[in-house]
Structure 1
Amino acid sequence: MSVKYNALVVFLFMALPGALNAQGACGPESRAFDFWMGEWDVLNRNRPAEDVRWYDTGTATARVYPVVAGCGLVEHWRGNAYGEFVVGFSLRAFNPQRGQWDLILLWPNSGQPRFGELYGGFRHSRGEFFSQNITESGDTAITRFTFSDITPNTLRWQDGISTDGGRTWDSSWIMEFSRREPLYQGALLNGPAVTTLRCPGPEYRGLDFLIGEWAGAVEADSAEAEGMGVRSNITPILDGCGLMEKVSAVGQTSAWEVFRAWTYEQALDKWVGYWLDTRWPVIQRLEAEVPPAGAPWVFQTVRPEPLDGDLRATMDRGVDGSVTWRQERFNAEAGQWEASPMVAYAERLGAPSQGG
């Protein structure tokens, strides 16, 4: 990559420090979780099955911060609960299409990571978020997560399970959050250093070639994309069970951000990712089969017929190590897929960084 190009990218990223915030497409509803941003100490209390008593089972550390120009929040969680060391990750954003929050969770403590989804919102300063699944016995189980007792420096989270349609709830986990120093930016302190991978199998290493910090450019197919530089930072998370990526693109007249989180789901034999983009601020799930050597990766929304805004993307890895993304969104009104400008990661800027 030329010195002239590098100078242009640096100039653009310095010249427009507020561009991403100015162009975020998120409404005031996206601020509902702002109370949770920051660094937290967490006291875990658990209740074993068939027991009426609650027990303190360990402490943890949580870090919550905004992504995608404030359209979403990311959580990293590490600590002790249920007598074992636990790690967790979540991405959440308000979905204006449904008028609810989408919560995407990845807690790979079984050794086989799998994303989970909950939906809900806040009412009277209490947040309630739900999902449904079918138990092994064929019953419908409803999961509920609640956020309550919210103050500037404390809050309470509690789980709940109902098998009678929500008439009664059984709970086994309470987290009591206490805020750390407001400007604390240290490491997540609880738990041992990562010396072994929680997901060691080769199937989980399929996207490790992306890890690191990258600089590139957006294909100039429009005046808006003219001179647009891209920075991407891709880090491992959850002790090697997943990856996350933060992308910032800044041009002379526009800017945008993307956040992506991936893991390999063994039950599907696919890589699964959740993406959030300022240009379309709704979390989307995409899946990709591992391609043959030398073939591109193809990520796409999986459903019988595409819906408006559905995404599909192709990632090519060049022989020189560069990475090129080509992306399309479905326009339901036109009944066709429409291409976005191509994004090329042309230069790795430094050694791969360590994630949470």
Structure 2
Amino acid sequence: MDSNSIDTMRRALLQSAAVGMALGAAGIDAVFAAGAAAEKPPGKPGDFDFLSGNWTIRHRRLKTAGTQDWDEFDGEATCWSILGGVVSVEELRIPARQFSGMGLRVLDVEKKVWSDFWVNAKSGVVVPPGTQGHFIDGAGIFEADDKDGEQAIKVRGVWDRITPASCRWYQEISRDGGKRWEGNWYMDWTRA
């Protein structure tokens, strides 16, 4: 892809983002809903290659749903692409909190769909459910149904702002079937 095509795509993405921000949360949800109804682009080996390498990460995690009370802290990660780009492994570390874990992203080559899983180092257990998703217009969008206690929720993880030197991952939760979303964790990645 030449630089003109990339610039055109980037411009279209930025314009779409500006429109979504102008419309507010309802507008953003409408964009995701329209994307959910449309045919998804096929996942392919190497989609997560941008993540390979060493990173420093600035975390911002919501302490309590419905508030603006955030916990901010630093972390780091080392990521590898293996099996010809069909698997991406992330070792996440938060030294100040003696915390570590592993992100595991696996492409179902036949279905052409990515699944994103988390493994907490303390338990060594893959935490269900894995979120499934695709890369659409330069952003990886992954969703799953889950529970918060007894309440059914939807979880969305998004990889965006992807450049050679940085990227962002954030998570949103919906408690009303996807009508409204609340961002509750933002991770700004900078290549180390």
| TM-score normalised by the chain length of structure 2 | 0.69
Q: Which of 143, 155, 161 pairs up with 1:143? A: 155
Tell me how far 1:170 sits from its aligned partner.
1.7
Tell me how far 1:156 sits from its aligned partner.
0.8
Tell me how far 1:86 sits from its aligned partner.
2.2
Q: Which has a greater percent of helix?
A: 2
Q: Which of 83, 93, 107 pairs up with 1:68? A: 83
Residues matched between the structures, number: 148
Q: Is the 8 A contact 1:30 1:93 kept in 2?
A: no
Determine the C-alpha separation between the residues in 2 that align with 1:171 and 1:121.
Answer: 20
Q: Is 1:29 aligned with 2:44?
A: yes
SS in structure 2 at match of 1:69: helix
Residue in 1 that maps onto 2:188: 176
Q: Is 1:84 aligned with 2:97?
A: yes
Q: Is the 8 A contact 1:126 1:147 kept in 2?
A: yes
Gap regions ≥5 residues in structure 1: 1-26, 181-356
Determine the C-alpha separation between the residues in 2 that align with 1:95 and 1:38.
Answer: 23
Determine the C-alpha separation between the residues in 1 that align with 2:117 and 2:148.
Answer: 20
Q: Is 1:127 aligned with 2:135?
A: no
Determine the C-alpha separation between the residues in 1 that align with 2:183 and 2:78.
Answer: 24
Determine the C-alpha separation between the residues in 1 that align with 2:84 and 2:135.
Answer: 22
Q: Is the 8 A contact 2:43 2:112 kept in 1?
A: no
Higher relative contact order (CA 8 A, sep 6+): 2
Q: Is the 8 A contact 2:45 2:84 kept in 1?
A: no
Gap regions ≥5 residues in structure 2: 1-41
Determine the C-alpha separation between the residues in 1 that align with 2:180 and 2:98.
Answer: 30
1:152-190 Cα shifts (integer Å, max 9, x gaps): 10111111111211111122211110001xxxxxxxxxx
Q: Is 1:114 aligned with 2:125?
A: yes
Determine the C-alpha separation between the residues in 2 that align with 1:160 and 1:85.
Answer: 25
Determine the C-alpha separation between the residues in 2 that align with 1:172 and 1:128.
Answer: 16
Tell me how far 1:101 sits from its aligned partner.
0.3
Alignment of 1:93-108 (within 5 A): 93-108=106-121
Letter matched to residue 48 of structure 1: K
| TM-score normalised by the chain length of structure 1 | 0.39
Letter matched to residue 94 of structure 1: L
Q: Percent identity?
A: 24
